[in-house]
Amino acid sequence: MNTKLPKLEPITSEWMFKFINNFELQETLFNSYESPINIHSLDAFSRNIKEYQEILATYNFDSKIFFARKANKFQNLITAAVANGIGVDTASYEELKQCIDLQVASDRLISTAAIKSRKLLELAIKNKVLLVIDNQDELDQAAQIARENNIKAKIGIRISGFYYEGNKLLSRFGFDIDDIENLIQNYFTEAKEHLFSIEGFHFHLDGYSTSQRGESIHQTLDLIEKLNSSKTSFKFIDIGGGILMNYLRHQNEWNLFKTELQNAILENCEPLTYNNDGLGYINRNGQIEGDLATYPYYNENSKASFLKEILDTTNDSSKAVYQRLEQLNIELRLEPGRSLLNQVGITAARVAHRKVDARGNHLIGLEMNMSQMKSSSADFLLDPFVSYKNPNKDAEPVEVYFTGAYCLERDILLKRRIELPQLPEIGDTIIFVNTAGYMMHFFETEAHLFKRAQNLSVLGREDHYKFDDFKTE
C-alpha cells in the first residue's frame, strides 16, 4: 500500500528564491508585520503586462488590457497597472472608489461587478466610468441615475447563451444573445439616446476552452454587423479573463499526481490527501467518476498560445477572429487576472506547532488560516518551500499536513500530504509560491478577529533583499 508521494514542483522566480534563502530577513519581517505576510514583485507584474502588450501588438486590430482587480487586492498593483499603460477592471464599489481616489483616468476603468448597488452605479456614471450592464434592472437603474444627473451613462452590455456544437453555453450572467436585437430596437429608442452611450459587448465564459471563446467572438461580431447603423455604433468586444497560465515545471509530475490520486481514491495506495479527499474525483463502485476540481496547474497551452488559438478561430466563411476584428474596426478587450499575476506573489507563514494525530499524521500548525490562501478550487496544488532556522542534512524526511488557525476541522491549508526533508521547528518559515492570483486575498476574512495578512511589495537587488526593500501600500 505504500507509495512515494508525487512531487508538484512549482516554477519559481529568482526574486522568490532570494527571499526563501534569507531566514534572517523572514524573522525581521515577521517581527514587524506578524504572520502571514504576502509579498509582491511589481517588476514581475510589469513583465507580464509587457508580454501581453507584445502579443497584441503583432495584430492589426485595436486592443485594451484591464487588470482584473478582484484577483488581488494589493493597492500598489493599481498604480503599477496604470504606469504600465493598462486599465483596471473593478468588481465592487470599494474597488472602483479606490481607483478613482488614486486618480485613475475614467477611460482606464471599467465596472463589471456581478451585483451593482445603486451606490456603485451612481459612482460609475458620475465619474464617466464604463458600466458593463448585466440585466434589465441594472439598465433601468442606470437610466434613472443618468436622467436625474443629466449625464450620459457609458455602458457595455454583457451577453451569454452562445451556441457551441449545437448547445447553448448557459450562464447566470448577462442577457441572452438571442434577446439582444429586440433589446436594442425596443429599449434604446430616440427617447433614451441622451441617457446612454452604448459602446460594446462583454462576455466571460466559464472554463478554459479556446474554441468556445473564438466561436463566441464570431457570434458577437455577427450581432454587431446586424446592429451597427447610424443609431448604434459598437466599438469593442470584451472577452473577460480566464486565460490559462502554467504553474508547474514538469507535465509528468502533473499526470502522475492525477493518476496516483485516483489510485488513492480507489484505495489502491495510501491516501495522498487529508481524509482521502478526492478533490472532485469520486469512487463509485470501484470506478472513478467526476473531474478534478482544481485549477489545471500544468498548461502547455498558456498565455500567448492560448490567446492565439482564440484569435485564429475561423467561422463558416473561413475568416479568423483577428481578421474580422480588423475589418470591422472592433477593439478587443481583455481582463486577465491570474495570468497577469503569474510569479508576482508569495505567502509566508511561521510554524506555530507540530503534533502527531491519532492516525499518525504529522500536523504542522501555521500562524495563518485557510481564508488567507484559498481559492474557488478544491486545493492549491504546489509544493511549498521551508526555510529552516537549523537545517540538518542528516535529518530524516517527514510527510506532513499543514493546518490553520480556525477552530474548524477543515482548516487544512493544503489537502495534499507533503514530504519535507526534515521536520520543521517552531518559528521556521513555510513559503507558498505564486499565490498572488485568486489565492492570498480572494476569500480572506477577519473571523476570530484574526488580522488580515500584511501586503508588501519588494524592490529588486542583485545580491539579496534587505528589510528596507519591502514597502507597504
CA angle 462/346/298 to nearest 5° reads: 105
List of domains in the chain = 14-41+343-471 (2.40.37.10), 42-244+297-341 (3.20.20.10), 251-289 (no CATH)
- In this predicted structure, the answer to whether residue 331 has a pLDDT above a threshold of 80 is yes
- Reported confidence tier of residue 3, pLDDT bands at 50, 70, 90: low
Rounded-to-integer distance, Cα 39 and Cα 13, Å: 13
DSSP string, 10-77: BP--HHHHHHHT-HHHHHHHHHHH-S-EEEEEHHHHHHHHHHHHHHHHTSSS-EEEEEEGGG---THH
**Residue 469 pLDDT class (50, 70, 90 cuts):** confident
C-alpha cell at 275: 481524509
- What is the pLDDT, as a whole number, of residue 465? 84
CA distance 30 to 351: 11
What does the pLDDT look like over 252-301, one tens digit per residue?
A: 999 999 999 999 999 999 999 999 999 999 999 999 999 999 999 999 99
Mean pLDDT of the chain: 95
Nearest CA to 367 out of 323, 430, 420 is that of 430
Give me 388's grid cell: 529552516
Q: What is the pLDDT of residues 367-394, one digit of tens each?
A: 999 999 998 899 999 999 999 999 999 9
In sequence order, what are the beta bridge partners of 154? 197
Percentage of the chain with pLDDT > 70? 98
Q: What is the pLDDT of residues 77-109, one digit of tens each?
A: 999 999 999 999 999 999 999 999 999 999 999
DSSP 279: T
The number of beta carbons lying within 10 Å of the beta carbon of residue 103 is 8
Mean pLDDT in residue range 224-252: 91
In angstroms, rounded to a whole number, what is the distance separating the alpha carbons of residues 184 and 207?
29
pLDDT exceeds 80 at position 39: yes
pLDDT of residue 77: 97
Compute φ and ψ for 366, nearest 5 degrees.
Answer: -110, 155
Q: Are 372 and 72 in contact (CB under 8 A)?
A: no
CA 311 to mean position of chain CA atoms: 22
**Residue 152 banded pLDDT, cuts 50, 70, 90:** very high
The DSSP call for residue 314 is B
Q: In the predicted model, is pLDDT for residue 231 greater than 70?
A: no
**191, pLDDT greater than 80:** no
pLDDT of residue 94: 97
Closest Cα partner for 455 from 17, 40, 23, 9?
Answer: 40
Instruction: Please say if the pLDDT value at position 247 is more than 60.
Output: yes
Residue 202 and residue 158 in contact, taking contact as beta carbons nearer than 8 Å: yes
Asked if residue 409 has pLDDT above 50, the reply is yes
Structure letter (DSSP) for residue 320: B
pLDDT at 1 over 50: no
Q: Can you tell me the distance from the alpha carbon of 356 to that of 363, in angstroms, rounded to the nearest whole number?
A: 6
Between the alpha carbon of residue 242 and those of residues 204, 338, 430, 437, the distances in Å are 8, 8, 29, 12
